Amino acid sequence: MRPTLPATLLFLSIAVAPPRLADAQARVACDRACLADVLTSYLRSLVAHDPKKAPLAPNARFTEDAKVLPIGDGFWKTATKLRPFRTDFLDVRTGTAAVHAVLEENGSPVLFAARLKVVERKITEIETIVVHNPQEGALFAPDSLAAPSPAMAARPPKEQLTPRDKMVEIALRYPAGLRVGSFEKSDVPFAQGAYRLENGVKMAGPGCTFQPPSCENLRTQRLPTLAEIKSRVIAVDEQNGTVLLWMDFGAGSLPRGEGKALVTFEAFKVYGGEVHAVEAVFKGMPANTPPGWE
């Protein structure tokens, strides 16, 4: 039976709509290059002291060290220079662009970490940690971060990329190990030569500075037991093999740090089913400080 005109029109509308919808989605979607450009614009806006240089959504929300601040406040007022060290974590699936970087404040180096939520190519959420000195960070060696980290920046061979869910599962074994005081008990699969860098200080792996030579093997390294540690996934960069976690280490994480705990954006290079590098930017904050974003 020949279809009626309304039925024909209905068929055509169904057939034509998906490509148009796909085109519209393509116009607003943000791929890796887009996320990196948004992140660059944001960092440049900091040193320019001008939020208008970043593609901010009208309702953008900003936190610094877990405190809600007006757009343009905080480090936006004091940052003066971008240094070469920068590691991006680009999660296209969730529209997240995160970064570890070193900036300057009137000639002095500052350790910086940020997470941006990007929707329709606009920044809707900004969550940052800013570490100005050793008193704030317990460890503080920004001058050792003179260039991007080769291990974090290198793209793994395609055949060694680990599926997203498995990357997350492997990375979360790390806070699980801190919770029980042993990476062996939580079975973190560290690769040979894996290292951990905290605020620019090599705390584990070849050439480590924390109780050598015991710190050279991450898996067997002596650890504190941090039973109160909390963690959440910030970004999963599937193409670059990195997972970024937010963690609050809880009580006992700071020496002589009564009432305070270390809070970090900690990155894990995961490919071939192993952790090859761990790099963190962390800061001491009041105990039980809620994250900037749930």
- In 3D space, the residue among 119, 1, 2 whose CA is nearest the CA of residue 60 turns out to be 119
Determine the 3-state secondary structure of 65 from DSSP: coil
Residues 121 and 161 both lie in one domain? no
Residues 211 and 123 both lie in one domain? no
Per-residue pLDDT, 257: 60
Residues 52 and 157 both lie in one domain? no
Per-residue pLDDT, 14: 35
The answer to whether position 2 is within a domain reads no
> Which helix (H) or strand (E) covers residue 58, if one does?
strand 56-64
The domain boundary residue, chosen from 71, 97, 132: 132
The C-alpha atoms of residue 39 and residue 114 are separated, in whole angstroms, by 9
The answer to whether position 22 is within a domain reads no
Q: Give the DSSP letter of residue 120.
A: T
Residues 193 and 227 both lie in one domain? yes
What confidence tens digit (pLDDT) does each residue in 168-192 have?
A: 999 999 999 999 999 999 999 999 9
Number of domains in the chain: 2
The answer to whether position 148 is within a domain reads no
R_g (Cα) of the chain, nearest Å? 22
The answer to whether position 143 is within a domain reads no
Residues 182 and 82 both lie in one domain? no
The answer to whether position 251 is within a domain reads yes
Residues 157 and 281 both lie in one domain? yes
Residues 125 and 56 both lie in one domain? yes
Residues 162 and 112 both lie in one domain? no
Residues 201 and 90 both lie in one domain? no
Residues 112 and 157 both lie in one domain? no
- Whether this model's pTM surpasses 0.75: yes
Per-residue pLDDT, 294: 67
The answer to whether position 142 is within a domain reads no
The answer to whether position 4 is within a domain reads no
Residues of the chain whose pLDDT is less than 70?
A: 1-28, 256-258, 294
- In 3D space, the residue among 263, 228, 259, 261 whose CA is nearest the CA of residue 246 turns out to be 263
Question: Which residues does 169 contact at the CB level (< 8 Å), separation at least 6?
Answer: none
| Domain span holding position 264 | 153-286
What confidence tens digit (pLDDT) does each residue in 122-144 have?
A: 999 999 999 999 999 989 999 99
The answer to whether position 72 is within a domain reads yes
3-state secondary structure 158-172: HHHCCCHHHHHHHHH
Which tokens belong to 123? Answer: 């920044």
Dihedral sign, CA of 202, 174, 262, 259? negative
Residues 52 and 169 both lie in one domain? no
Helices and strands (DSSP H and E) totals, the chain: 5, 12
CATH number of domain containing 39: 3.10.450.50
The answer to whether 280 touches 263, Cβ cutoff 8 Å, is no
The C-alpha atoms of residue 118 and residue 58 are separated, in whole angstroms, by 13
Determine the 3-state secondary structure of 272 from DSSP: coil
The domain boundary residue, chosen from 101, 132, 163: 132
> Which helix (H) or strand (E) covers residue 18, if one does?
helix 5-28
Residues 69 and 191 both lie in one domain? no
Per-residue pLDDT, 73: 97
